[in-house]
Structure 1
Amino acid sequence: MIPTAEQFDLVVIGGGPGGYSAALYAASAGMKVALVEKDALGGTCLNRGCIPAKAFLETAAVHRHVAHAAEFGIEAGAPPEAITVNFAVTQARKQKIVAGLVGGIAAMCKGRKVEVFNGTGRLGAGRIVTVSLNDGGSAEITAPSIILAAGSVPRLIPNFERGGPIMTSDEVLDLDVVPARVAVIGGGAIGCEFASTFADLGAQVTILEGLPKILPGLDNDVANVVVRSFKKKKIDIRTGVSVTGHTPNGQGGTVVQFGDGETLEVDAVVVSVGRRPYADELGLDGTGVKVDERGFVVVDEFCRTGEDGVYAVGDLINTPQLAHVGYAEAILVVKQSLGETALPVQYDRVPWAIYCHPEVAWAGPGEEAAKEAGYDVVVAKHPFKFNSRAQILGETEGLAKIIAEVGPDGRPGRILGVHMVGPWVTEQLSGGYLAVNWEATVDEVAEFIQPHPSLTELFGETVLSLTGRNFNG
């Protein structure tokens, strides 16, 4: 132990969701906390991910509403194709939202007496964290508990270096115009959100995905709804293709080469092939912290590394790259630091949400995954097209699907998975999430009363149908 190192109860390296939530949660429990962040507080989620991307998606939603206003009796005075998008205003609005939230985190840190070190933290032997401060100075801090929460960065692919029309999810969020023609490389959750955004704003969008289908891992019924909707938006989905390179066209755009000699001329390329853990600047020399061949910090189910008192959370470890998973891991670690009972995160039951249009949300395994896991299952699914609130909204695409385990009596029993696609399903999942995580049975959840008219009625009716009786559908 270096006597000159400033002492804390907890030191957190990284100010993203896992890091700042750990710092604030620990401080609320009375711990003396230091938080090290070299960039803006909030990390990828707040500054270059979830929040700005959803701000863009909301602009796309407003565009859709205006385009269909006449269906509601609102005469906007111009045909839908004449609607203009001032994306510079969209960008300014997004920046205002982000700045407000970043400021809010800073204010909470100050209010709870979390000491924020603006710089890069490197962990060395004896749980000493050396901080290279952004102002050119340095500091040494230490604590009985250290949390590594350095986050992740976009993965890159050969022959697609950042610059000009080639963007990752970082750069695309700085656009102040809507490109006319966009290629999205990668058909996962992030890629589909960007494809949905730009298509709804009038761009010609092509998704290039190497796997046989977009949104791999989703329940097939849910994924098929998204594919049909995307095709209605005229999104060109190319699956099972490899992207090999591109050639700038001299006009600010580029020609992408893919598949078997195919080409596609576009104004912008969004490389969206996932994110890699960012352990690059953590140091770790002289410690028992291990990094695997994929760059993840190795931890056990309690987020403990190989170094006593050192933990890792969030995108830095090989768990679902979701901000709310980072929050849960932060609480898990802080409870251990406080000597309290802590239960590992049940990663197979966490809530998932994709904010494309139509939205997707789920908890627990889909039908195919449940069967592959050896469960004897029964399934019920109901479409939104018969839901009164969905018809009022004019958003009838989608369905709710429940996967239940067959009980000893041969009837549907425990609810294993709840999968939804359609209007505002990301806001409707909580009931399904609770059902899955409380291991509730179909009969138990069928007793819950859903408000009418509401979108959540569809979840209730789908569960009710598994009892063998129903009054709708």
Structure 2
Amino acid sequence: MGKSFDMIVIGAGPGGYVAAIRGAQLGLSVAIVEREHLGGICLNWGCIPTKAMLRTSEVFHLMHRAKEFGLKADGIGFDLDAVVKRSRKIAKQLNSGVGHLLKKNKVQVFMGEATLPAKGQVSVKTETGTEELSARNVIIATGARARELPGLEADGDLVWTYKHALVPKRMPKKLLVIGSGAIGIEFASFYNALGAETTVVEVMDRILPVEDAEISAFAKKQFEAQGMTLREKAMVKKLDRASGTVTAHIESGGKVETAEFDTVISAVGIVGNTEGLGLEDLGVTVERSHIVTDPQCRTGIDGLYAIGDIAGAPWLAHKASHEGVMVAELIAGQTPPAVSPDSIAGCTYCQPQVASVGLTEAQATEQGYDIKVGRFPFIGNGKAIALGEPEGLVKTVFDANTGALLGAHMVGAEVTELIQGYVIGRQLETTEEDLMHAVFPHPTLSEMMHESVLDAWGRAIHF
């Protein structure tokens, strides 16, 4: 006889382990299956270790600006092995923390490879044998992996994925990054700050293509000022690999040019981890490597849910976690609201940072809204100037008729922390009047959020 639970979660990433803990809090008996690392890609090979490395490059950048702050710093350098060691140590610490939380909440953990032989059944192949589990409710939270294009496959030596870039064998001297989404631009920012001659190739007509066009253009100027080469509307067609060098064939404007690099990072998207689960036999619909679900993460198979990256965009850890909570509460008989994709903030931790929530100006116009747009530059904010971070922009988009905040977009220092203010505002359905009457503390960067709202109605004070 197998072991029976109220809920089984497959995958212990930021969606899966959060779902398991919330289920246990609600009195459900819960099992979680993980084949590799508690905490998933985000904690072990994504969000957390990359932020640790980006913090190093930020400090390194500031050290070179010491004179500007009245300080002296000579012989500035870095130890790449030590940088990586710190990053891995932080990931390991948080991995252990997830294990502690699952144990504290009495979630039973099975380390192994899961399959779904039938509805409500999960078979787990472990190091010591096979565990047969059953539950009325199963949550698939198996995440995603890096997409690899034909001819551009990673080899871990000359061509890297994000995993290779997190534990580099060497410091790149001449780096090519393929793709300018969050992953690509973060690694470009890190290695460029440490001195790599960095080129980014983006197939779309602008870098950071999911962001508001004005924010993308602002970020582009900052990256170029830092020495990056950015090639938009371009495609890497082929990589010729030789000893210690890669020749990239880059197509742009109908012409193909070649350029040599010693390292390539491929960041061209992700592929859902759907293989080997037995989804086809269960009748689960999979499109473009992602499981199709309804707004409450139901797959169409009774008692089977999918959350996080495996369930499609936006591919963000906090979206996965929120879906995990929602599904656990559904299973426990509660009625939580569906997670709305346009209420989820996106954050990119390059330098300068980029953050956004809701509709871009172009999207709002395309959807037929009569809009008012407010802007406020960092140069008009006392705290930004005091920090030595005067380059940035806060932009807000409102429905001119109702005052509803349709979207907010930022580029500059610490905007990944500021954006949550607008997220909460949208969640509470605040209007421009509510935001105008809110008192923002001084001196803070958040004052720019207030000024941007005021500017949308021609009332900005400090610019």
Indicate the TM-score class for this superposition, using the shorter chain for normalisation: over 0.9
What is the distance in 1 between the residues matched to 2:249 and 2:181? 20
Identity %: 38
> Equivalent of 2:437, from 400, 424, 447?
447
- Quick check: 1:154–1:274 contact (8 Å CA) kept in 2? yes
Q: For 1:16, give the aligned amino acid.
A: G
Q: Which amino acid aligns with 1:141?
A: L
Specify the code of the residue in structure 1 equivalent to 2:423.
Answer: Y
Tell me the secondary structure at the aligned position of residue 206 of structure 1: strand
Give the structure 2 partner of residue 140 of structure 1: 132
Indicate if the aligned counterparts of 1:290 and 1:297 stay in contact, CA closer than 8 A: yes
Query: In the aligned structure 2, how far is the partner of 1:458 from the partner of 1:126?
Result: 52
Cα shift at 1:176:
4.9
Q: In the TM superposition, what is the alpha-carbon distance from 1:196 to its structure 2 partner?
A: 0.8
Asked if 2 retains the 8 angstrom alpha-carbon contact of 1:63 and 1:201, the reply is: yes
3-state SS, counterpart of residue 320 of structure 1: coil
**Segment drifting more, 144-153 vs 299-308:** 299-308
Would you say the 8 A contact 2:374–2:454 is kept in 1? no
1:10 matches 2:3: no
* CA distance in structure 2 between the aligned counterparts of 1:284 and 1:418, rounded to whole angstroms: 38
Distance 1:261 1:286, change over 3 A: closer
1:280-359 correspondence runs (5 A): 280-284=275-279, 286-292=281-287, 294-359=288-353
Question: In the TM superposition, what is the alpha-carbon distance from 1:388 to its structure 2 partner?
Answer: 0.8
- Equivalent-residue separation in structure 2 for 1:101 and 1:41 (angstroms): 9
**Number of equivalences:** 459
Query: Aligned partner of 1:275: which letter?
Result: I
Amino acid at match of 1:391: I
Choose from 249, 253, 256 the match for 1:257: 249
**Alignment partner, residue 277 of structure 1:** 272
* Letter aligned with residue 458 of structure 1: M
Is contact 2:394–2:411 with CA below 8 Å preserved after alignment? yes
Q: Which amino acid aligns with 2:40?
A: G
Give yes or no for contact 1:91–1:176 (8 Å, CA) kept in 2: no
Q: 2:101 corresponds to which letter in structure 1?
A: M
Aligned residue for 1:98? 91
Task: For residue 285 of structure 1, report the CA deviation from its aligned partner.
Answer: 5.3
* 1:173 has 2:166 as partner: yes
Where in structure 2 are there 5+ consecutive unaligned residues? none
Match of 1:150 in 2: 142
> What displacement does 1:177 show?
3.4
Counterpart code for 2:260 = E
Superposition map of 1:365-404 within 5 A: 365-404=359-398
Partner-residue secondary structure (3-state), 1:417? strand
- Aligned match for 2:63, one of 62, 66, 69: 66
Unaligned runs of at least 5 residues, structure 1: none
TM-score (ref. length: structure 2): 0.97
The 3-state SS of whatever aligns with 1:306 is coil
Structure 2 letter corresponding to 1:44: I
- Give the superposition deviation at 1:156: 0.3
Between the aligned partners of 1:240 and 1:360, the Cα distance in structure 2 is 21
1:458 correspondence with 2:448: yes
Q: CA 1:386–1:346 in 2, change beyond 3 Å: closer, same or farther?
A: same
CA distance change for structure 1 residues 255 and 7 in 2, over 3 Å: closer, same or farther? Answer: same
- Is the CA contact (8 Å cut-off) linking 2:154 and 2:266 kept in structure 1? no
CA contact (8 A) 2:175 2:262 kept: yes
User: 1:299 is aligned with what amino acid?
Assistant: T
Q: CA deviation at 1:469?
A: 2.9
Structure 1 runs, 4 residues or longer, greater than 4 Å off: none
Q: Please tell me whether residue 421 in structure 1 is matched to residue 415 in structure 2.
A: no
Deviations 1:71-101 (A, max 9, x none): 11111134xxxx3221100010001100000
Question: Which whole-Å CA distance do the structure 2 matches of 1:232 and 1:263 have between them?
Answer: 24
Separation in 2, partners of 1:14, 1:471: 50
| Residue pair 1:28, 1:112 contacting (<8 A) in 2 also | yes
Opposite residue 33 of structure 2, the aligned amino acid is V
C-alpha distance in 1, partners of 2:245/2:323? 42
Is the 8 Å Cα contact of residues 418 and 436 (structure 1) preserved in structure 2? no
Structure 2: how far apart are the matches of 1:330 and 1:440? 26
* C-alpha distance in structure 2 between counterparts of 1:369 and 1:466, whole Å: 17
Instruction: Tell me the TM-score normalized by structure 1.
Output: 0.95
**Alpha-carbon RMSD:** 1.3
- Is contact 1:64-1:200 (8 Å) kept? yes
1:222 aligns with 2:215: yes
**Contact kept in structure 2, 1:160 and 1:245, CA below 8 Å:** yes
Question: Aligned partners of 1:446 and 1:264: how far apart in 2?
Answer: 52
Distance in 2 (CA, whole Å) between partners of 1:137 and 1:452 is 61
The residue aligned with 1:248 is 241
CA contact (8 A) 1:12 1:23 kept: yes
Alignment correspondent of 2:193? 200
Please identify, of 418-427 and 157-166, the stretch whose mean Cα deviation from structure 2 is larger: 157-166
The aligned counterpart of 2:227 is 234
1:87 aligns with 2:87: no
Q: Distance in 2 between matches of 1:70 and 1:59?
A: 19
